[in-house]
Amino acid sequence: MSIFIDGSTRLVVQGITGRDGGFHTRQMIEYGTQVVAGVTPGKGGQLFDDSVPVFNTVAEAVERHGANTSVVYVPAAFAADAVFEAADAGIKLIVCISEGVPVQDMMRALPFVKEKGARLIGPNCPGLITPGVCKVGILPGQIVMPGPVGVVSRSGTLTYEVIFQLTRAGIGQSTCLGIGGDPLIGTNFVDCLEAFEADPQTRAVCMLGEIGGTDEQVAAEYVRDRMSKPVVGFIAGQTAPPGRRMGHAGAIISGSEGTAAEKMKAFRDCGIAVAERPADFVDLVGAAL
């Protein structure tokens, strides 16, 4: 089992003929993902790498090839439009990789996605991967292995680091995903924790947060009140000075609730084991299993 993607995922790539879209499409196909179509307005009728049909609209990809999932590799200025189009065409899972999407664009897109009954992951995220089955986004497939641990993170590169540490120790993963570090995102920690709790393959969860906002505190309360599976947590930005943005648009301390110390305390108070550094996940997860 897994969360959000599996062997039935039929993917359309928005921006397939661009540099990033093309590169990662090849990686996803090589991993085994069913990439059924691509979309680039004005380039409909072409074939990507002589195998994947390119359409002008997502609606055509859904109608002709039954696409049910979309991944967005388009410039930030057009990313929200791509999300609107995918949701309007009936796509149920939209993964937006694009970085730098204006917050005001997401303020319009998120209600529309919800209204259409779709799920958005991102923007500014690495996507997700179910080891050995399917990957949607930019996560490196060579570092994962199938197993019982779910991984969810606000940071892309920290996701890779923790996955690598787990795999090297022989601890496999059920699904790994990065939810993005922007102030407004489509899928939060609680959404993922709820899905992992319901997934029979997942026996423990690694949750990687960072400074800024209160999402980690809300997630900690959800773990305390609603989860039966053990969770190991980590907070990035433990030495960040207040008022300075650290990498992600949402990673800025604007009060005591946004600090690493406050978040780590919330984790401990709610029964979440806290890793001081990514390498600590191996021992903590091993003990939890």
Measured CA to CA, the distance from residue 264 to residue 236 in angstroms comes to 10
The answer to whether 248 is a known catalytic residue is yes
- Report yes or no: 223 and 193 within 8 Å, Cβ to Cβ: yes
Q: Which of 65, 119, 135, 248 is catalytic?
A: 248
Distant-in-sequence, close-in-space partners of 279: CB < 8 Å, separation ≥ 6: 165
Residue 276, judged by CB atoms within 10 A of its CB (0-12, 13-18, 19+), counts as exposed
The two tokens of residue 142 are 């060579």
Tokens of 13: 């790539």
Q: CB under 8 Å to 198, separation ≥6 — which residues?
A: none
Nearest to 90 by CA among 160, 169, 12, 186: 12
Element (H, E) at 47: strand 47-48
Instruction: Give the active site residues.
Output: 248
